[in-house]
Copies of this chain bind each other. A is one copy, B any other.
């Protein structure tokens, strides 16, 4: 299986997702600043993968800190965490991972600095392993929701490449296929970054899962023709009431699914659920550069100087979501209650 990212002694190694599918190349970040830059430039993307990347970036930065005492170390770590937190505002997994690394530091802060550094590297690796285990657990819970055969539409890439491995939405699809279900995936290409065309199609073809790539604007027609029996997507942040921020276009897919009587599912690790954000209106939405829309593969497609909208995410209100699949189990409406109940549940995902 492809390694989205991995800790190595030389630094954090990433598959370059801006080069897929035509080139399978890797970049190794040797400093935390380089990790921040690969997050910003979307060499690595996908909320869970961003969280793991940030944890590894912190471990890397902490390892190389030249601190005379714990106060200097704490200050240095704070700077590293701020640099990583400033990369992308929407995915909450990033902030969750940063907080978790900070908490681990506080637990270790009585120890000698070399031991703290080792402990932070171990914590980042634990976050990595837990992410894969969470995806496999989501797969087990979610596979039952998919029909024994039929079309499943997905938007963007919520696959192995969006996580430490296996994937969230694509993890559920993988688990359904492993359970013998005959799933045909309809993959929205997902403009402007084309994660569906470049990443989802590539992942699914590698696994031999039948896939039809469509432009985003074809999803409605596919549903009208009865080709889609379920929709499953990932998430970048889920508010306490179930409102879900995910890749731009997800909201449209949810409305289309509702209009055609097709269930719309969200699969995400519990670290994506932000119980401190009451509803979707409070989720910050990243606006990205116009050139992502006006230029494709470096070639200008729109007139110079045209006004451009490029929100990277949109918010799907909870009322469109049939279930949220987490590693702790399924949440069903009303989400304010079901998500809180899952939050209180003891967790054992077997890491």
Contacts and interface: CB of A to CB of B under 8 A. Distances in A.
Interface of A: 21-22, 155, 186, 188-192, 194, 197-198, 201-202, 205, 210-222, 224, 248-249, 251-252, 255-256, 259, 293-294, 296-297, 299-303, 305-311, 314-315
Given A215-B216, A259-B259, A302 B21 contact: yes
21 contacts: A188-B217, A189-B191, A189-B301, A190-B217, A191-B217, A194-B302, A197-B294, A198-B302, A201-B302, A202-B302, A202-B303, A210-B307, A211-B306, A211-B307, A213-B293, A216-B249, A219-B252, A221-B248, A222-B309, A252-B256, A296-B297
A215 B191 contact: yes
Q: Which of A219, A220, A222, A256 has the most CB of B within 10 A?
A: A220
B21 A213 contact: no
A90 to B, nearest CB: 13
Given A189-B191, A255-B220, A213 B294 contact: yes
Nearest to A224: B251
B249 A218 contact: yes
A222 to B, nearest CB: 7
Contacts of A297: 296-297, 299, 301
Contacts of A252: 217, 219-221, 252, 256
A217 B307 contact: no
Nearest to A197: B302
A213 B296 contact: no
A201 B217 CA distance: 18
A194 B221 CA distance: 18
Contacts of A211: 306-307
B213 A309 contact: yes
A2 to B, nearest CB: 13
B303 A21 contact: yes
Nearest to A252: B220
A251 B301 contact: no
B221 A293 contact: no
A334 to B, nearest CB: 21
Given A188-B217, A212-B309, A217-B248, 17 more contacts: A189-B302, A190-B217, A191-B215, A191-B217, A197-B301, A197-B302, A201-B306, A205-B306, A210-B307, A213-B306, A217-B217, A218-B309, A221-B251, A221-B311, A224-B314, A297-B297, A297-B299
Contacts of A294: 197, 213
A197 B304 CA distance: 11
A177 to B, nearest CB: 16
A244 to B, nearest CB: 13
